[in-house]
Structure 1
Amino acid sequence: MLLLLRPLVRVRLSATTLTVVLLSTQQYIPSPAMSYCMTVGCSHPENLNSAEYCQGCGQFLLLQNRYLAIKPLSRGGFGRTFLAIDQQIPSHPHCVIKQFFVQYENPQDYQTAAKLFRQEAVRLDQLGKHPQIPQLLAHFEQNKQLFIIQEYIQGKTLFDELKQDGLFTEQKIWQVLKQILPILQFIHEQNIIHRDIKPANLMRRCSLPSSGENSLDTVVDLTQIPPTIPMRDQEQAQISAKLKSTIYPILSPENSDLQTSTDFNKNDIVLIDFGISKLLTGTALLHSGTIVGTPEFMAPEQMRGTVYPASDLYSLGLTCLYLITGISPGKLYDDHDEKWNWRSYLIPQQIISDRLETVLNKLIVIAINQRYKSAEEVLTAIQSSETPVNIAVKPVIPIKKTSAKVVQTPAKTPNLLERIKQNLGYQPLNDPLKSAVGVDYTQLQTLLAQKRWKQADQETWFVLCQALKKSKKTYLYAQDLANLPCEDLQTINHLWVKYSNSRFGFSIQNQIYQTVEGDYGKFCQQVGWLTYNPNNPDYGIEYKTSAPTGHLPTRNWIVSTGKWWKNLEILAEKLASCKIN
C-alpha cells in the first residue's frame, strides 16, 4: 500500500473571512496487481504491475509515458475502455482510457473510426465542465492507435443498479427523468445528439466513503498552508463534493467563494459514452448517416440513419420502460396492434401513475411530429403536471346546484351506505350459485363483488379443484377441464362476468381466443399475458379493474407442459358443449 498525506483544497474566501477549514486526506492507493497492454492483437496483454514492457509483444506499457491501463471495463464495435492510473500525478488518480480501433479490410473503415475519435474529443471539449458529463483530460494518437483519456466516474450504471436492486419504482423513474433531461437539454443546445441513451450509459455516482480512499481525516487551519497550492481540475472535483458535505455546515455560503471546476452531488446520474454523438448541422438533418447505437433502444428514424433531439428522448423513454419492467424494449411493443403494451408487464406490486404513464407514452411515440420535440418541453410537461389534480377540477364541480336539489328532495337521496356501495360498484348478491357436486361458491361471490381480484383468482383455483374432486391447491391439467360439470363452470363464469362488468371471465377469454382465430401468441398480447411460464406465476399479472379485457382469471393453476394453448382449446370446447357464451 502507498500512503499519501496531502492537502486537497485551496479556498478563496471573501475579505471578511480570516480563517477557514482545510480538508486533508489520507488516501490509500492500492498498487495495481496487473497492467494491460493496449496494442491491438497482442497475444498476452496481461502483465505484472512491475513490468515496463509487454511480455507478449514488447511494446512500452505506458501511454504518452504517463497512463497505465490496469483493468478492462468494456468493449464495443469501435473500441474498448480501460480503467487506468495517471503515473505523472503523485497520487496516481484513476482515469479512463478509451481506445478506438477497427479491424479493417480497407482504409475507409479506419477513416470512420478515426472520424468518431476526433468527434468525441471535440464534443467532450465543447461540453466543457458540465458536472454530469465526464471531463476530457487528453486525446492523442500513438502507434497508429487512437486514445482518449477521460475522468473516471466512480459508481454503477443503471443497468447494474437494476440487476442488483431490482425494478425501479415510480419515484426512481422521476429522479432519472429530472436528472437526465437537463443534460439532454444542455447537449442539444450545443447542437449535439448523444444517439446511444440506454441504462448502461447512465451511471450513478457513488457517495464518498467515510474511510479509506478519498476519506476525510483531519481538519487544519488554512493559514498554516502556503497560499499557492498547485491544483488540478480532477482534485477540484473531489474538493467540491467534500466541501458540500463537510465545509458547508461550518461556513456560511454568503461568506465563501469556492472556486472549483466541477460541482456535483452524490448520487448524481452521469451521461457517459459520447463516442457516437453527432453534430447537428443542416446536412446531418437532411441526409442519412452511419447507423450507430444500440438497436433495442433506438428511435425508428435513427434506424434509418437520421437523428433529431427527439431521437434521444425516445431512447430515454425506452430506458425508463426497461428499468420499470426489466423487459427488452422490443418485447414491449405489440406488432399486431401497433402499440406499446408495457403496462401489462408490470408486476402486481408496481404502481405507475397516470401522470408518469402520460409522459412515458409521449416520449416513445413512433411518429416524430407527435413525440416531445425537446427536453425542455418534457421538463415543462412534468412541472405543469405536478399541480394536484383536485385543485384544477374542484371549481368546476356543480356542488351548490346538486346540494340544493338534495335538500329539497331528501326522499330521493341515497343514504350514506347506499352511496358507498355505489362508489364501490356494489351489486346485490342474488346470484344462483348452482353446483352439480355441492361446491359452495359464496366466498368467490363475495370476493368478486368486493373487486378483490387476486383473492378471487385464488378462490377460483380452489373451487375448480373441489368441482373436479381434487385436493385444494392441486395443479390441474388442461384435459381436467373437460370433466368440469357444466353447472359449476356456468356459475364460476357468471360470477366473473357479472362483477367485472363483462371484462373478465372464461367466456370473455374464449371470445378473444376465437377473434384471433386460435393464435395463442396474439391471444396473450390481447389479454396481457406472457407467452412463457415465468418463475413467479404472478409476474406480469395485474389484479385490478383496469387490467386488459380477458386478463383474469389467470392460468396459474394449470400445469405447464410447454403447450399453454391446450388449456384454451379444451376450455373453448367445454364452453361450447355447455352452451356458455
Structure 2
Amino acid sequence: MGKKLSYPIFFDTICLELSLCRVFRRPVAPSAKRYVIQAILSRSSFGITYLARNIYLPGQPLCVVKKLAPKFNDPQLVTIARAQFELEALTLSRLGTHAQIPTLLDYFELGSDRYLVEEYIPGFVLAQTIQQQQPFTATQVENFLVQMLRLLEYIHSHHLIHRDLKPQNIILCQTDRRFVLLDFGSVKDLDAAKSSSGDRTISDASRSIGTSGFAPPEQLANRAVYASDIYALGMTCICLLAGKEPSQLPVDLKTCELIWADNVDICTDLSQIISKMTQISLADRYHSATQVLAALENRTIRAKLRTYLDRKYAVSTTDRIESPAVVHWALGIATTD
C-alpha cells in the first residue's frame, strides 16, 4: 500500500479509492488523465460515483465520474454488473442530447476498472424532500408530472423502458428548475429483446430489476412494458405529495393499493389521474405517457370551463354540464370573449 496522497487526485496515479490511494504501476489510457476528483457523491454495492473536474477543458468544468467496483465476488453477478454499466453508457449515447438526461461525456477502461463520465447537474435529489419531510404541493407535482411525462415520451420513442424511476434517481436542477432523470443502467431495450430470438439477456438474469414500492408486478415478473414506467412515475408523485416512502403509507387490504389521497391537499381530478397511473392491473392503468398528458390537458380544459362559467354565468356546481361538446364550446367562447 502506497502513501496517502493529497488533492489534486488524478485518475492515472491512483485507483480512485480515497481511503487507500494506491499508486498504479501500469500504463493508463490518455482519457484518464483528464479528470481530477473533488469529492465522493455516493457509494453502492456496484461502485462509486465521484464529482470531478475535467482539467483539459477551458474553465475545468465539473463532471460526474462513475467507477464500476462491485462489492461481490460471484462471477455471474460481476458479469451482469459490467453489462449493465456498459448498457448505461450505450443508452446515454443512444438517447443523445436531451435537457432532462445527463449527457455522456466519456467512457473508458483503466486496467480491469471501467469508468463512465457524464454531465454534472447542480441541484438536489428528490429523495431529499421525502427524507426532510418537505412534501410537494399539488401544483408542484403537476409541473413535475408534465415534465417527466414528456421525458418518458422521448425515452419510450427510442423503444426503451427505464425500469428504475424513483425519487432517488431524479434531480431538480437548481439553475432552471428542470427535472433530470438519472441511472440508465437498468433500462430494457425492446429492440434488443426482439432481436435476441429467445436468448437469455441481461434482464433475464436479473429478474428483480427495479425498486420495491416503485416497480409494478409485471416488471418484477420480468415483463416490463411502457406502462411500468407510468406506474413508477405515479408512485413517485404520491411520495412527493405525501412526503413518505411507499412502505410508510397505509394499504387497502382489499385492493392492495396505497391509501394516500385523503391525507394530501389535492383536487379530485388530479388524484384520479395519479391513481389510474398506479393501478396494480395493467388493464386499468394508462398505457403510455401520451395518454396521461391527454388526461392532464383535458383536466386543464375543464378547469378553464369551470372558471369561465362561474365568472360569466354564475353556474352552480350542480348545474354544470361538462360533456366534450360543452367543453370545446365554452373554451372557444372563453378564448375569444
TM-score category (smaller protein): 0.7 to 0.9
Once the two structures are TM-superposed, the CA of residue 101 in structure 1 deviates from its matched residue by 2.8
Partner of 2:329: none
What is the CA-CA distance between 1:51 and the residue it aligns to? Answer: 5.6
Relative to 1, partners in 2 of residues 1:190 and 1:398: Cα closer, same or farther, differing over 3 Å? closer
Q: Which residue of the other structure, out of 235, 241, 265, is the alignment partner of 1:324? A: 241
Aligned to 1:538: none
Partner of 2:212: 295
Question: Are the structure 2 counterparts of residues 50 and 75 from structure 1 closer, same or farther at C-alpha, using a change threshold of 3 Å?
Answer: closer
In structure 2, stretches of 5+ residues that fail to align are 15-19, 310-314, 322-337
Whether 1:342 aligns to 2:256 is no
1:153-302 mapped onto 2 (5 Å cutoff): 153-163=121-131, 166-207=134-175, 266-281=176-191, 282-283=193-194, 289=204, 290=206, 291-302=208-219
Query: Partner amino acid for 1:371?
Result: R
The 8 Å contact of residues 196 and 276 in structure 1, kept in 2 or not, is answered as yes
Matches within 5 A, 1:433-448: none
The letter for the 2-side match of 1:277 is V
Q: Distance in 1 between matches of 2:24 and 2:112?
A: 13
Q: CA deviation at 1:167?
A: 1.2
Shift of 1:114: 1.7
Contact 2:100 2:181 (8 Å CA) reproduced: yes
Q: Which residue of 2 aligns with 1:236?
A: none
Equivalence for 2:275: 361
Query: Does residue 130 of the first structure (1) align with residue 47 of the second (2)?
Result: no
**Residue 227 of structure 2 is aligned to residue 310 of structure 1:** yes
| Cα pair distance change 1:398/1:324, threshold 3 Å | closer
**Structure 2: distance between partners of 1:126 and 1:293:** 21
Describe the SS at the equivalent of 1:65.
helix
Relative distance call for 1:50 and 1:321 in structure 2 (3 A) is closer
2:81 match: secondary structure? helix
Q: How many residues align?
A: 295
1:58 paired to 2:23: yes
Q: Which runs of 5+ in 1 are unaligned?
A: 1-41, 208-265, 400-581
Aligned-partner Cα distance in 1 for 2:254–2:55: 58
Is the contact between residue 252 and residue 259 of structure 2 (CA under 8 Å) also seen in structure 1? Answer: no
- Matched residue, 1:419: none
Could you tell which deviates more after superposition, 81-90 or 149-158?
A: 81-90
1:146 to 114, 118, 124: 114
Residue matched to 2:81: 113
Residue identity in the other structure for 2:119: E
The aligned counterpart of 2:7 is 49
**Shift in Å, 1:163:** 4.4
Question: 2 CA distance for matches of 1:362 and 1:87?
Answer: 49
How large is the RMSD of aligned CA atoms in angstroms? 3.0
Instruction: Give the partner amino acid of 1:67.
Output: Y
Question: In the TM superposition, what whole-angstrom CA distance separates every residue of 1:91-137 from its partner, at most 9, and x where no partner exists?
Answer: 21100001123234343222211211221111101111111100000
Partners of 1:398 and 1:391 lie apart in 2 by 10
In 1, Cα distance between the equivalents of 2:184 and 2:45? 14
2:8 touches 2:36 (CA, 8 Å); kept in 1? no
Output aligned runs, 1:419-568, within 5 Å: none
| Counterpart for residue 227 of structure 1 | none
Is 1:285–1:307's contact at 8 Å kept on the other side of the alignment?
no
| 1:416 matched residue in structure 2 | none
Higher radius of gyration, 1 or 2: 1
Secondary structure, aligned partner of 1:48 = coil
Q: Give, in whole Å, the separation in 1 of the partners of 2:66 and 2:305.
A: 52
What SS does the aligned partner of 2:22 have? coil
8 Å CA contact 2:35–2:55 kept in 1: the answer is: yes
SS in 2 for 1:295: coil
Contact 1:101 1:110 in 2 (8 A): no
Decide whether aligned partners of structure 1 residues 49 and 56 sit closer, same or farther in structure 2, where only a CA change above 3 A counts: closer
| Conservation of the 8 A alpha-carbon contact between 2:68 and 2:114 | yes
Q: Normalising by the residue count of structure 1, what TM-score does the alignment of the two structures yield?
A: 0.47
Tell me the residue number matched to 1:379: 293
Counterpart AA for 1:58? V
TM-score by length of 2: 0.79
Aligned pair in 2 of structure 1 residues 191, 285: CA closer, same or farther (>3 Å)? farther
CA distance in 2, matches of 1:398, 1:94: 55
Residue type matched to 1:273 in 2?
D
The letter of the residue matching 1:275 is G
CA shift, 1:303, in A, is 1.7
Contact 1:162 1:168 in 2 (8 A): no
Q: Which residue of the partner structure matches residue 28 of structure 1?
A: none
Letter in 2 for 1:48: S
